[in-house]
Structure 1
């Protein structure tokens, strides 16, 4: 932060001191990206012009008063793309090669030789065609998978997805996919998008991966779909409530692999987030528009057409 401190007066605070720290502040770095303290401190933010969130998702921040204001919001778009794409590929390989089953057999000291699947030629529908979804599509194509996207607008000839189907019609298309990957931001349009109807329309024996946001998937309906079909496995990194409560049936539902909202966390990610903010802050201080400006009405950074 020395580079920023050379050009601006900085105050460091926790949530309890945010109201006082915001008085007279022009910009805010929200390093604790899950914090909802900005809403409570909003009456003190009269001179605020820019908020940078050290996360890709901004759903925790976009309360109505901020959305209606002139304050510019930017996010950490691009920092997590490759790490999350690798996590998705790892999850798909773990299912195809039955690595979770091998682990269970090891714990039981059982030697059980069996055949596994090749991922080459398998199909993946990626729900969410932003930068994370695109990097995931490129990586899955690199191992020979057939990939399609699901976004706001249906279209053909997309450079990464080939065909993109409309998210509003996703139930009509999930039956094509061996793997359905949820990589969308949480917005009013995507909340509950993977509903009981969508899950019921999935391919028998299919695999759901969620690295987007928990509330995009109806967790109760997912448990039913895993127990009764057609969904066979689920790799879940995000949940409706985090940490996942001990009483959640997801912990013990067969076929579920749980990770602690860590798909984007890699060695060096905090340093990358800090460098990104410093670069953006120096642009802003110099009077240039910052990068990764969020459309506050839509809840994400507009990029490639149909990027939601």
Structure 2
């Protein structure tokens, strides 16, 4: 048991403790642990820092959290730490909202340009030393629909608009005067709005309402020339339905950074489809991102020690930070 002047912080980090924790170590007892040791490390801990944000160990170790008051996760998505025990507790949950906005928006623009300018085929032809002239598509004037109107979705909207695209949003609340999207349609209107989009970008948080929302009906509703880009959560998509839609040419292509099973299995057809771009959950991971994640936790730790309101407090029922609490 530790006194009030020496709080105990458990850091779930696997076998690689994060750099930059020295300042926190000077004012707290810090316990670094992997999944197997999490339950023991939670006993008597005041704070849990889920640095390994892909870990699914927190629900199974929750019974050992006997004095926990705050959990911080080093990601924007909080689905690994949202479960009944967390929802029903008084423990405050915060995330790393804001760290990944710009890198992910650049990734999305890069995927749009890669499709429009046929870069993947150019690289394949270059490997074959083949000179094959083709015409490419314009990006300016194309319609991108972004599902997810939080900070990352807004950064994507601003980036695509800067490239000359027309952007609309799909969000929880409909509005016609949004500063980044202009028009935001309600999530209930997704299927009716999909036919008008040239690019569909999924960046919504994973909730019971959004899980599997991109299924056979959604892909059938898209125009045959549309491209689908997922930088949100793999579970937003029914993978088998996406593969079937690509094989049937119901949509023209997909850029996928997240998957319902990670790493993506080697036998997945997605690896070998010429109209699919696969990246290993890295769209937001620009150089220096790990240090920024620790800095964000440290900033919140200072607020917590001072008894001040924390940044990026998640609504545990919604599964994300409400815009009004940004």
Same fold (TM over 0.5): yes
Q: Return the match for 1:4 from 6, 24, 41.
A: 24
Higher relative contact order (CA 8 A, sep 6+): 1
Q: Which runs of 5+ in 2 are unaligned?
A: 1-20
Q: Which runs of 5+ in 1 are unaligned?
A: none
TM-score, normalising length from structure 2? 0.91
1:230 counterpart residue number: 250
2:316 counterpart residue number: 296
Residue 284 (structure 1) shift: 0.5
- 1:118 and 2:138 aligned: yes
Residue 29 (structure 1) shift: 0.5
1:30 counterpart residue number: 50
Q: Is the Cα–Cα contact under 8 Å of residues 227 and 254 in structure 1 kept in the other structure? A: no
Using the alignment, how far apart are the partners of 1:83 and 1:284 within structure 2?
28
Superposed CA deviations along residues 36-69 of structure 1, whole A, max 9, x for unmatched, are 2211211110100000000111111112111111
1:92 counterpart residue number: 112
1:196 counterpart residue number: 216
Of 146-155 and 248-257, deviating more is: 248-257
- 1:76 and 2:80 aligned: no
Using the alignment, how far apart are the partners of 1:303 and 1:281 within structure 2?
22
Using the alignment, how far apart are the partners of 1:285 and 1:5 within structure 2?
13
Using the alignment, how far apart are the partners of 2:36 and 2:244 within structure 1?
41
User: How many aligned residue pairs are there?
Assistant: 306
Q: Is the Cα–Cα contact under 8 Å of residues 58 and 80 in structure 2 kept in the other structure? A: no
Q: Please list, as runs of the form range in 1=range in 2, the aligned pairs for 1:58-73 lying within 5 A after superposition.
A: 58-73=78-93
Q: Please list, as runs of the form range in 1=range in 2, the aligned pairs for 1:273-284 lying within 5 A after superposition.
A: 273-284=293-304
Q: Return the match for 2:36 from 16, 34, 41.
A: 16
1:142 counterpart residue number: 162
2:73 counterpart residue number: 53
Residue 253 (structure 1) shift: 2.5
Of 161-170 and 247-256, deviating more is: 247-256
Q: CA 1:189 to 1:118, structure 2 compared with 1: closer, same or farther past 3 Å? A: same
Using the alignment, how far apart are the partners of 1:110 and 1:118 within structure 2?
24
Using the alignment, how far apart are the partners of 1:9 and 1:215 within structure 2?
36
Which contiguous aligned blocks of 4+ residues in structure 1 show a shift greater than 4 angstroms? none
